[in-house]
Amino acid sequence: DGGITQSPKYLFRKEGQNVTLSCEQNLNHDAMYWYRQDPGQGLRLIYYSQIVNDFQKGDIAEGYSVSREKKESFPLTVTSAQKNPTAFYLCASSIRGANQPQHFGDGTRLSIL
Amino acid sequence: EDKVVQSPLSLVVHEGDTVTLNCSYEVTNFRSLLWYKQEKKAPTFLFMLTSSGIEKKSGRLSSILDKKELFSILNITATQTGDSAVYLCAVASSEKETSGSRLTFGEGTQLTVNP
């Protein structure tokens, strides 16, 4: 079945540690996105990528980094510079084009130890 | 700065009631407005609206967009307990029609349907 797979479902980070969240899709979508969701809030865009080897900052990119070496994969690294990383992280993908809906993975919940 | 505002933030109804959820926006380079339903994990796509006045329907759910007044509504008739969820409104914007859009989300409306 086609879909978007995020792993792990739950992740704990120690102070000063970098952690990487995985996002893989087999929908043959060109565009991929990372969002952060805090309790009682909507989603905020961290980074997005329209094609392989290219990505742009979203609204809250500070403290995060991404790579897009393969079409299917768009990993997100939460660095130690991100002082408030506890949140629910959602990855999405879409066909490239202005009027294409984004479809989401099941998310990764990140907490601080 | 792009902005999407949803109201109400929270709503509690009884099964069988009809509800209307509101979404207003201020966005440059508007492309479309999308509605998602989020239960526990991934938001699931409901509707995408690009033109004013054309009502989209899917069973008991319907939605309409007003591009002049910059708002959309999502109606749910004959509500069921399974409709309990957070409903997210998002607006897609992009500088070029051929490039992908970035979404700006509202805070969401938490709908609770009691039996």
Q: For the segment A50-102, what is each residue's pLDDT rounded down to a tens digit? A: 999 999 999 999 999 999 999 999 999 999 888 889 999 999 999 887 678 89
Confidence band (pLDDT; 50, 70, 90) for B98?
A: low
Give dist(CA B52, CA A107) in Å, integer.
33
Model confidence at B78: pLDDT above 80: yes
- Of residues B22, B17, B33, B90, the one with CA closest to residue A37: B90
CA A59-A75-B85 angle, 5° bins? 65
CB contact under 8 A, B96 and A96: no
Pick the residue of A91, A96, A104 with the most B CBs within 10 A to test the interface with B by mutation.
Answer: A104
Residues paired with A65 in a beta bridge: A77
Mean pLDDT score of chain B = 92
* pLDDT average, residue stretch B48-72: 90
Q: What is the pLDDT of residues A6-52, one digit of tens each?
A: 999 999 988 888 999 999 999 999 999 999 999 878 899 999 999 99
B58 and chain A: CB distance < 8 Å anywhere? no
Tell me, yes or no, if B46 comes closer than 8 A to chain A by beta carbon: no
User: Looking at this protein, which amino acid is placed at residue A2?
Assistant: G
Quickly state the pLDDT bin for B41 (edges 50, 70, 90): confident
Average pLDDT over residues B103-111: 95
Rounded Cα distance between B38 and B42, Å, is: 6
d(CA B40, nearest CA chain A) in Å: 9
* Residues of chain B numbered 87-106 and touching chain A (CB < 8 Å): 88, 90, 92, 94, 96-106
Which chain B residues have a beta carbon less than 8 Å from that of A48? 100, 102
* pLDDT at residue A3, rounded to an integer: 93
Rounded to whole angstroms, the Cα distance separating A79 from A81 reads: 5
Residues of A in contact with B107 (CB under 8 A): 40-42
B103 and A45: CB-CB below 8 Å?
A: yes
- Top pLDDT among A14 and B99 is at A14
Return the pLDDT at B99. Answer: 66
- Whether the per-residue pLDDT at B97 is higher than 70: the answer is no
Tokens of B89: 């409104």
Distance from CA of B112 to the nearest CA of A (A): 15
